[in-house]
Amino acid sequence: MKQYKIAVAGTGYVGLVAGVCFAERGHDVICVDVDEKKVELMKSGVSPIYEQDLEELMQKNYKEGRLNYTTDYKTAYKQADAIFIGVGTPEQPDGSANLSYVATVSRQIAENIEKDCLVVVKSTVPIGTNDKVEQFIKDSLVNDIKVEVASNPEFLAQGTAVRDTLEAKRIIIGTESKEAEKMLMEIYEPFHLPIVSVDRRSAEMIKYASNDFLALKISYMNDIANLCELVGANIEDVAKGMSYDPRIGSNFLKAGIGYGGSCFPKDTKALKYIARQYGYELKTVEAAVDVNAEQKTKLYKKACDRLITFNGLKVAVLGLAFKPGTDDLREAPSLDNIELLLKQGAMIYAYDPVAVENFKKKYPEQITYVEKPEEAIQDANVCFIFTEWKEIRAIQPKKYKDLMKTPLVYDGRNMYDLKEMKEAGVEYYSIGR
């Protein structure tokens, strides 16, 4: 295999995971970040994000000399055969993607590369952005060299990002020349994975279309779950019956209190915005966004129907992260619900195995954080479950009855069997059952 010198701009979920996995597959990788403390942390073998298997691979590849970290982007870009852009493209108030970080890196690349180079955009960007990035770099070039830009969107899920990269179902590459296609093919050759090669705009669209389709499935199942409650059906039985149809599949059929994270909320709104820029209305995506927004506080509204007030009540919150396996809080249902509960005067005791430190940045004093889920439910008047961590799943139904002042549980992830909770003497509310 051919070993390439690869620079990766950005060390968040996209950039750091990509860089570590390229090193694991034998390339010479340097990850670039502006934060000196973060760089020193990574050099010491500590990951700035919680992600399964990431720290072990960071330490292994750093020790073996294939992986390094730096704030010196000038040297990193100067020596690179390929530069992967993995910086954030956060959502703006109107739903569009903020491309300022991509623009900053593009300018730095243009001003510092000294040999022919392939620039690869891994960040999720609106359709047509790669064209603009290429033109922007060419307009800003200092040296007389050849630069091409390719699209290579990521399809990792937080919590399983390393596995999703090393064992991806497919690699999408979008190029406008045979040379760029050949180089990206060679970079990914040691991964031994299926590669789908398309033009740049199609690659950009594949990313949005894939994520938004999955968001659609989640919102559809939540919509059906809400109807199940009204007509007396069980959403889990419905999902099981649907899953045997190969045209539907079994993934993303689980009803709950909505999707969160860094991808689905941002990408659905971004594609909706892009469509409107072209005078087109994506009605299905707009519906998914609307359903998800309402779903997040569905259990809170159920609890409001049951209780006269939350003022002065001890409320247990089990799970803060938007899903298990990550400490990411972006668009997590816990945020919407806790804000409402605090406004009502609730005394919140919260448990999460990994996301507490991140949550403390938002609520340093208003919430009592506990180390065990049992501490949260001890003498609680009501309990909300927002994340299906195994530590929470391990709590037996009888524990709620024994420990809580009032065994009143609102489960946004359908973790418990209805019959078992009833037999244990727990007043239990879930989604679509």
State the CATH number of the domain containing residue 65. Answer: 3.40.50.720
- Tell me: pLDDT of 282 over 90: yes
* Residues 142, 36 share a domain: yes
The predicted structure's pLDDT at residue 158: 85
- Tell me: pLDDT of 347 over 90: yes
* Residues 31, 174 share a domain: yes
Structural domain count of the chain:
3
The predicted structure's pLDDT at residue 196: 98
Average pLDDT over residues 141-145: 94
- CA-atom Rg of the chain in angstroms: 24
- Tell me: pLDDT of 62 over 90: yes
* In contact, 347 and 312? CB cutoff 8 Å: yes
* Residues 236, 304 share a domain: no
Show which of 198, 231, 250 is a domain's final residue.
Answer: 198
* Kind of pairing between the strands at 82-85 and 368-369: unpaired
139 CB-contact burial (10 Å; exposed 0-12 / middle 13-18 / buried 19+): exposed
| pLDDT band for position 251 (cuts 50, 70, 90) | very high
* Residues 377, 237 share a domain: no
pTM of the full structure: 0.92
* Residues 290, 304 share a domain: no
- Tell me: pLDDT of 115 over 90: yes
* Residues 304, 289 share a domain: no
- Tell me: pLDDT of 307 over 90: yes
The predicted structure's pLDDT at residue 296: 96
The predicted structure's pLDDT at residue 1: 79
Average pLDDT over residues 68-89: 96
* Residues 225, 121 share a domain: no
Average pLDDT over residues 179-189: 97
| pLDDT band for position 159 (cuts 50, 70, 90) | confident
What the block records as the tokens of 196 is: 């789908």
* Residues 61, 94 share a domain: yes
Average pLDDT over residues 268-283: 95
Supply the CATH number for residue 211's domain. Answer: 1.10.1040.10
Show which of 166, 198, 230 is a domain's final residue.
Answer: 198
* Residues 376, 267 share a domain: no
Q: How far apart are CA 276 and CA 126, in angstroms?
A: 13
Average pLDDT over residues 198-205: 98
* Residues 304, 175 share a domain: no
The predicted structure's pLDDT at residue 427: 98
| pLDDT band for position 299 (cuts 50, 70, 90) | very high
- Tell me: pLDDT of 222 over 90: yes
User: Could you give the residue numbers annotated as active site?
Assistant: 263
* In contact, 18 and 58? CB cutoff 8 Å: no
Show which of 160, 177, 198 is a domain's final residue.
Answer: 198
The residue segments making up the domain with residue 277 are: 207-295
Considering only CA atoms, which of 324, 308, 293, 292 is closest in space to residue 382? 308
- Tell me: pLDDT of 246 over 90: yes
* In contact, 51 and 28? CB cutoff 8 Å: no
- Tell me: pLDDT of 151 over 90: yes
- Tell me: pLDDT of 21 over 90: yes
* Residues 176, 104 share a domain: yes
Average pLDDT over residues 389-415: 97
* Residues 314, 396 share a domain: yes
- Tell me: pLDDT of 26 over 90: yes
Mean pLDDT, the chain, rounded, equals 96
Average pLDDT over residues 360-371: 96
